[in-house]
Amino acid sequence: MFPRDVISAGPLLLRPPTDDDTQAVVQACDDPVTARFLPFLASPYTAEDARDYLRVTEEKWAKGGAEFTITREGRFVGSAGLQPIDRYGTTSVGYLVAPHARGTGVASTVARALADWALDHGAARVELEAEVSNLASLRAAYKAGFRQEGIRREGKRLRDGSRNDQVTFGRVAGEPGEAAEPYFPFFPGGHLTDGVVRLSPIGEEHVEGFQAMMDDPVVRSYALAPPGSLPDYVRRCRYTGFWWMSGQRVEVVIEDAATGAFAGHVQLVNVAQMLHQAMVGYSLAPGFRGKGFMGRALALLVEWVFAATPLRRLTAGTAVDNTASHRVLERAGFTRQHIHRQLLPRLDGGWSDDVEWLLLHPKLGEKS
Ligand SMILES: CC(C)(COP(=O)(O)OP(=O)(O)OC[C@H]1O[C@@H](n2cnc3c(N)ncnc32)[C@H](O)[C@@H]1OP(=O)(O)O)[C@@H](O)C(=O)NCCC(=O)NCCS
């Protein structure tokens, strides 16, 4: 049973909700981002829905949970709560920030404060879940000192009946709860460009171009995995922001800067954070080959990698007969290392040799 405390968290105050919050709750909930990520809420959201929420809030306190209105300088900025502590000592935290207050550290401050408060009041473990595409909530969890623990596949039903994966986080008693800083920052201003190509994080909106490119016979002949279905590619494109934010991968769309057309894809995979090493992979859609697009894209990506990330080694792997790819890598400064015999799966079921390429951070000599 949590006490009905008022909790102070930096500039924020958390207090039990009152009927005076009704209108502010409507404003926070009758919003497209809220509707997208909290599909159990009514949409449109009315004053009647807010009054129901305030009634349920009282029941939540009575059942051993906690629900708060978050204010800053007296103004409503959101709501947050904790589930009753279960028989194993576990509770979970949830939050919603009013549109006008987003991006100002409310969710991360509140998640940290409520986790500390729950751990001080008998909980041994505090859980938090965010949809794999809810980058603001994922970032808030990392900033609040939660550790990423796993994925609940199709753990959430969306408003249209489809399902999405949930990333699970936890904080346990005795942990320092340090904020996790991202290994890969996002591109400054959202993209990199040289005026001819534009590089941005790939997302669900690129799925059609991505699938068409992956279905091209030349791309398929060099692909490591069999072709996917549309839902496979939607799922993959939903994950890319989370992969980036969690330092697992960087997935980038290459667009024609003049028209915005999908031109291709470049990625950093096999990220070994301990070694500060990653592997580059790429493909262009057929209509954009032979124009120097991949050379430009790689030059932009490599410059960003060595200026803005901790990576010091970039590797690449190509089939031995992929001359166009060899030329792209040579022009970007990569040097040929060695042959990995029989590494790459072929469409006919056999295996082919792979050439490994390497590019070191410009401050590292070949021998250092
Ligand atoms: C998710 C939500 C609670 C976040 O609240 P918030 O107060 O804006 O969160 P914070 O300001 O503490 O942190 C947000 C972080 O995400 C980052 N962020 C936001 N949108 C992002 C995006 N599209 N891509 C990458 N980062 C993003 C912000 O830059 C900030 O990080 P920074 O401080 O390092 O710059 C708020 O967006 C919201 O209420 N959404 C609707 C309901 C919801 O999703 N609830 C949570 C369900 S799990």
pLDDT in tens, 84-130: 999 999 999 999 999 999 999 999 999 999 999 999 999 999 999 99
C-alpha to C-alpha distance for 254 and 263, rounded to whole angstroms: 5
**Residue 167 in contact with ligand 1 by CB distance below 6 A:** no
User: What are the domain boundaries of the chain?
Assistant: 7-172, 188-360
Bridge partners, residue 70, by sequence = 14, 78
DSSP 8-class letter at 187? P
Characterise 213 by phi-psi region: left (phi > 0), alpha (psi -120 to 50), beta (else): alpha
Instruction: Give the pair of three-digit tokens for residue 301.
Output: 């990506």
CATH top class, domain 188-360: alpha beta
| Side chain identity, residue 143 | K
At residue 20, the 3 state secondary structure works out as: helix
- Measured in Å, residue 292 CA sits from the centre of ligand 1 at 37
Query: Comparing C-alpha atoms, which of 193, 185, 190 is closest to residue 300?
Result: 193
Instruction: Give the pair of three-digit tokens for residue 181.
Output: 């800083």
Size of the chain, expressed as the number of residues it contains: 368
Which atom of ligand 1 is nearest to 104's Cα?
11
Query: Comparing C-alpha atoms, which of 108, 103, 50 is closest to residue 80?
Result: 108
pTM: 0.91
- Measured in Å, residue 359 CA sits from the centre of ligand 1 at 35
Which atom of ligand 1 is nearest to 140's Cα?
13
Give me the DSSP letters along 74-143: TEEEEEEEEPPP-TTSEEEEEEEE-GGGTTSSHHHHHHHHHHHHHHHTT-SEEEEEEETT-HHHHHHHHH
- Measured in Å, residue 135 CA sits from the centre of ligand 1 at 6
Q: To test ligand 1's pocket by mutation, which of 79, 95, 104 has the most ligand atoms within 8 angstroms of CB?
A: 95
- Measured in Å, residue 23 CA sits from the centre of ligand 1 at 23
C-alpha to C-alpha distance for 28 and 20, rounded to whole angstroms: 14
**Residue 38 in contact with ligand 1 by CB distance below 6 A:** yes
**Residue 66 in contact with ligand 1 by CB distance below 6 A:** no
CA separation, residue 318 to residues 241, 294, 315 (Å)? 26, 14, 10
Burial classification of residue 6, based on how many CB atoms lie within 10 Å of its CB (0-12 exposed, 13-18 middle, 19 or more buried): exposed
C-alpha to C-alpha distance for 312 and 365, rounded to whole angstroms: 11
Average predicted confidence (pLDDT) for the chain? 95
**Residue 240 in contact with ligand 1 by CB distance below 6 A:** no
**Residue 104 in contact with ligand 1 by CB distance below 6 A:** yes
Pick the CATH number of 7-172 from 1.10.3720.10, 3.40.50.10330, 3.40.630.30, 3.40.50.2300: 3.40.630.30
Which atom of ligand 1 is nearest to 134's Cα?
44
Predicted confidence pLDDT, tens digits, the chain (368 residues): 899 999 999 999 999 999 999 999 999 999 999 999 999 999 999 999 999 999 999 999 999 999 999 999 999 999 999 999 999 999 999 999 999 999 999 999 999 999 999 999 999 999 999 999 999 999 999 999 999 999 999 999 999 999 999 999 999 999 988 998 899 999 999 999 999 999 999 999 999 999 999 999 988 888 888 888 999 999 999 999 999 999 999 999 999 999 999 999 999 999 999 999 999 999 999 999 999 999 999 999 999 999 999 999 999 999 998 999 999 999 999 999 999 999 988 878 889 999 999 999 998 865 44
Query: Comparing C-alpha atoms, which of 17, 76, 80, 84 is closest to residue 51?
Result: 17
Same fold, 7-172 and 188-360: yes
Other beta carbons within 10 Å of 145: 19
